[in-house]
Amino acid sequence: MFTGIISDIGEVESVEGGANLHHLRIACSYEAETMTPGVSIACGGPCLTVVASGAKSNRSWFEVDVAAETLARTTARHWKTGTKLNLERPLKIGDELGGHLVTGHVDAVATITAIADFDNMRRMDIGTPENLARFIAEKGSVSLDGTSLTVNSVEVGFFSVLLVPHTLKVTTWGGRRAGDEINLEVDLMARYAARLAGNLSWNS
């Protein structure tokens, strides 16, 4: 479980494997000894399991395997050497919940449809996948590329978010462009609320 508060920007150093399995090495600033095999790290949204780690040239690295399901449902299929990724370590009991509850289970790949910069901030319009529209609510939460963001407005076919200067500085969002694909995870509470409402309607 995560909070969507990014703690590092990683960089893909290598990608190996075939169509159904990618093996990645990702450079980061986390201490190598804390990334033991089996530890989870959210990488650009998806929760991935560390299979190896180490340090080289004063920088740490960890390796993960990205299987067919994740490749099919996320932007991980496009990651290559040099790709920058928002990273987050798992939430610990007692940690401050600064964002919202994020599972690291990406629901769909969405597309940035428009960007407007003003006052050192950035407004982005995100195309809403039709099957997820009911989970997107004004002033609700979404996870985009692993970042917890508040939905500013909801329109037909898209919703908007606002990125403040700090977020643009400490995440990969400063380099995003219209047309880019991003990983979208809807709010966990919205998902269960919709499920419960559906069950109540079915039983009535």
In this predicted structure, the answer to whether residue 197 has a pLDDT above a threshold of 80 is: no
Q: In the block, which residue shows the tokens 């997820």?
A: 132
Residue-wise pLDDT for 147-176, tens only, equals 999 999 999 999 999 999 999 999 999 999
Least confident segment among 26-35, 85-94, 179-188: 85-94
| Long-range contacts of residues 151-159, Cβ cutoff 8 Å, at least 24 apart | 152/123, 154/128, 155/125, 157/127, 157/128, 158/113, 158/125, 158/126, 158/127, 158/128, 159/125, 159/126, 159/128
> Which pLDDT does position 204 carry in this prediction?
45
Give percent of the chain above pLDDT 70.
96
Where are the domains positioned within the chain? 8-88, 108-197
Residue 174 CA to residue 171 CA, distance in Å, equals 7
Across 138-180, where does the E strand assignment appear? Answer: 141-144, 147-155, 158-163
Q: What CATH code is assigned to 108-197?
A: 2.40.30.20
CATH fold match for the domains 8-88 and 108-197: yes
- Residue 199 pLDDT level (bands cut at 50, 70, 90): low
Say what the pLDDT of residue 1 is.
86
Tell whether domain 8-88 is in CATH 2.40.30.20: yes
Judge whether residue 203 has pLDDT over 50.
Answer: no
Per-residue pLDDT band for 92 (boundaries 50, 70, 90) equals: confident
